[in-house]
Structure 1
């Protein structure tokens, strides 16, 4: 019994070492360490910027390992299309991210009432939304959390040394609930107040799709709308041209609808450019390879987490 724990640890380390030694013909990437792989090199913030820099040295397919977990970063539209689209039958599974999923209460749900006038500086709800998105980005980044690689760590007591991830998850969960309830409470208190601005495009869209719009879609809509406001503030000439097109087509009689999009080509171009310029998820959503695959001259092992670098 005395030697059971050291033997178990030795067996785990040995298996990870053997896995790293068996690697064959993998895509290029930064050289890692035995057992821990590229863990020390993984960026903690703005990962997409680091991956873009690495692509200058290693190309559009970058291979990493973290404690035996293989990760493939795709830095070009060509590679992402050929793998995630043309081979979707084996690249469409999702990795289990314990920190982002189980401990962080799953997807972030934002029930915001549109028609709320934001403050010019330091708006409370916008700051909350930014904090939630930053927290989710950190929680869902592969390699950031040991509990994603060793799921049973989620069951250790909160006071255990090294269990700071549980405290962090609790903080993010509280923030998550504040984002859900805060805007709703504000809207309920201000239903008859002049603070509520009507009509507005977002409220119109949500009312038309109230039965089919998922909470995740609401979150994406909020982020895309904030990006649009930022882009238009930076480029008022583009905003004026888009407004002129809307006024010409609709003559100021109503708000735009999805059916009007074919008649608003410049507005559609603005929408597409905003999503390209500031994507909701710069690293996309992680995929999981369900079987070993050969791509170009590389062999990609089963279980690899595949991350498209949209940015």
Structure 2
């Protein structure tokens, strides 16, 4: 048989096998797919959550699509997400391969050196080095180990209470999220805005997003591409991955080694890293692989925690600038409950119901991670009479869950009062924090800590600072747009505003509380 004819036979046979496999399934409704591309050509380059929501309005809250050959299940409602990702979490807690982030093997060091202007990374390590963080781990024993560590660190009441002095200190100094998580993860105290560890970690996070968010690159759908050499056209994703990898290794390795040196010197401050190392040393389990797990667990505290928490705080500030009436109403409540002699603290939270509505609305108005991180179905399933295939990528459209007008009226409007118009049970059921932190066994383990940090910062900003429009050269207000950047994390577009101490008494109170918490934290 001629080579051309043989190739044709193989192509036809492969197509027939795929067809016979597909016809046995009764998939949920979804957009018509085309050969090879599936539906990926229908996705815009930006704000993909809007297209997925459009599919939801057309086909229902559970949509079936294909991104190239990968089956995809899009969940456009909280009900469907809870039914599958929580009630059937044993099947829905895996992750897609994320080859770009954690599986791509490098070429020989000589080729890397020619393509990358920095020192070549070790060829034994994954391209970006994020394989040891819980966000990217496949469901299994290693995932459960990381989850237990992080749950112990962020869900027990004792642990959360122990972090309160750090939360207070960083709120009063407004160095905030990056400093808090570095202190908790490594016992490292940030003392300036240009801190080297903060700068490195922030750069690593930004460069990772630029290089490609989870599942967004062709190599994630066509693993064969990971073998192309660096000199070939289209290999730019590998060069960028190698660049990011050097940053990731620095972000994970530098603070870990710093903690180990401090432990040897007997000067280590309490931290997640120090406690895990001490535990492993006592049990005789501090192998290289175990150290990599500790680095990943501590690193994800910074990489995931600070980025989304800072995004939420920026959203809060933008909302308050655009809605001064909300700001003043929340301030009046704080003044009534707290008074002028001190600043708001955690114990005041239950007595500030309007502020609680403001925080809820901040999370709803701009969900920090619009599409979450995709899950992967690890076996065939049936839902509402439809077949969901093994290996499907499962995407929760969190943005639409918080923007669906059938769930939240006038969703584009920042309206804390919407929760006051609800009954207590309805307000709890409609709380956007029930979806923005993820679902099931993949829910963010730092949810309670992050929510408390946002609340404390919001309460103290309102109580202590006047927030208003910035002015241009002519003295006119610079009114920012209520607009958000497209991407894995939905940050507000850059905007200007003006902060001023509310009174001289407030300024003195902040200085006093900062000094007290620096001593006690």
TM range (shorter): 0.7 to 0.9
Task: Write out aligned runs for 1:239-258 (5 A).
Answer: 239-258=327-346
> How many aligned positions are there?
270
Q: Is contact 1:16-1:68 (8 Å) kept?
A: no
- Pick the structure with greater CA Rg: 2
Q: Is contact 1:32-1:38 (8 Å) kept?
A: yes
Q: What is the match of residue 71 of structure 2?
A: 70
Q: How far, CA to CA, are the matches of 2:347 and 2:9 in structure 1?
A: 63
Structure 1 residues without counterparts, runs of 5 or longer: 118-123, 181-208
Q: Could you state the TM-score of these two structures normalised by the residue count of structure 1?
A: 0.72
Q: Considering fraction of residues, name the structure with more helix.
A: 2
Q: Judging changes above 3 Å, is the alpha-carbon distance between structure 1 residues 251 and 93 closer, same or farther for their aligned structure 2 residues?
A: same
**2:227 counterpart of 1:139:** no
Structure 2 residues without counterparts, runs of 5 or longer: 103-125, 136-176, 180-189, 252-269, 274-297, 400-521
Q: How far, CA to CA, are the matches of 2:359 and 2:328 in structure 1?
A: 15
Q: What is the match of residue 287 of structure 1?
A: 375
Q: Deviations over 1:174-194 (max 9, x none)?
A: 88799x7xxxxxxxxxxxxxx
Aligned match for 1:153, one of 203, 206, 225: 225
Q: Could you state the TM-score of these two structures normalised by the residue count of structure 2?
A: 0.45
1:73 to partner: Cα distance: 0.6
The structure whose RCO (Cα within 8 Å, separation 6+) is larger is: 1
Q: Judging changes above 3 Å, is the alpha-carbon distance between structure 1 residues 237 and 293 closer, same or farther for their aligned structure 2 residues?
A: same
Q: Judging changes above 3 Å, is the alpha-carbon distance between structure 1 residues 287 and 11 closer, same or farther for their aligned structure 2 residues?
A: farther
Q: What is the match of residue 37 of structure 1?
A: 38
1:294 to partner: Cα distance: 0.4
Q: Deviations over 1:209-258 (max 9, x none)?
A: 96498112122211111111111111111111222222332224444333
1:38 to partner: Cα distance: 1.7
Q: Secondary structure at the match of 1:63?
A: strand
Q: What is the match of residue 18 of structure 2?
A: 19
Q: Is contact 1:20-1:68 (8 Å) kept?
A: no
Q: What is the match of residue 386 of structure 2?
A: 298
Q: Is contact 1:61-1:72 (8 Å) kept?
A: yes
Q: What is the match of residue 59 of structure 1?
A: 60
Q: How far, CA to CA, are the matches of 1:308 and 1:220 in structure 2?
A: 17
Q: What is the match of residue 122 of structure 2?
A: none
Q: Is contact 1:27-1:62 (8 Å) kept?
A: yes
Q: What is the match of residue 358 of structure 2?
A: 270
RMSD: 3.8
Q: Judging changes above 3 Å, is the alpha-carbon distance between structure 1 residues 129 and 97 closer, same or farther for their aligned structure 2 residues?
A: closer
**2:317 counterpart of 1:229:** yes
1:292 to partner: Cα distance: 0.6
Q: What is the match of residue 163 of structure 1?
A: 235
Q: Is contact 2:129-2:249 (8 Å) kept?
A: no
Q: Is contact 1:20-1:35 (8 Å) kept?
A: no
Q: Secondary structure at the match of 2:100?
A: coil
Q: Is contact 2:308-2:369 (8 Å) kept?
A: no
Moved over 6 A (4+): 127-130, 174-178
